[in-house]
Amino acid sequence: MEVVLKQDHESLGKAMDVVNVRDGYARNFLIPSGIAVPATEGNKKSVAEAKRFAEKREEKQKAAAGALASKIENVPCTIPVKVGEEDRIFGSVTAQEIAEFLKKEGFEVDKRSIALEEPIKQLGVYSVPVNLHRDVQATLKVWVVKDESQ
């Protein structure tokens, strides 16, 4: 029996896929639990239309992320930190601090999209990847400098 998946299923496929499953599995589990609907002509047409709209929306998001990436890469990110003896940083520079800096500059970037492998614990210049879309990644130059107001 052919069914149209309404949501992602780990062994069958992604949402809006038309898959062929056994009749009993479809009638007794997938359809009653709301995971799938029977693959009638009307459902297939609505799925095709929904996929087309989703692809258009995805392209717009990707284009917007690309434009944002080029703007972010041109922003100089300087983060002043308090240091002790031998220029050792008190604490570290985290993705949260970088996200707050970007917010001050007018960019709404979630801290989870800033891909710091580990917090920055020394003075210097770092290249930090920022994931804006699954296909678009910007590289932000972060200067960690000594806070002169000490």
Q: What integer pLDDT is reported at residue 50 of this predicted model?
A: 87
- pTM of the complete model: 0.68
Tell me the CATH number of domain 75-146, given options 3.30.365.10, 3.30.360.10, 3.10.430.100, 3.40.50.720. Answer: 3.10.430.100
Q: Quick one: pLDDT at residue 150?
A: 58
CATH code of the domain occupying 2-68: 3.40.5.10
CB 71 within 8 A of CB 132: no
Establish whether domains 2-68 and 75-146 are of one fold. Answer: no
Q: For the residues 31-45, what does the mean pLDDT come to?
A: 92
Give the domain ranges of the chain.
Answer: 2-68, 75-146
Nearest-angstrom CA–CA distance, 21 and 124 = 57
Direct distance between the N- and C-terminal alpha carbons of the chain, in angstroms, rounded to an integer: 72
For tokens 């992320």, name the residue: 65
Euclidean distance between CA atoms 126 and 77, whole angstroms: 10
What pLDDT digit, counting tens, does each position of 65-112 carry?
999 999 999 988 999 998 888 878 888 899 999 999 999 998 888 999
Query: Six-digit token pair at 131?
Result: 């994931």
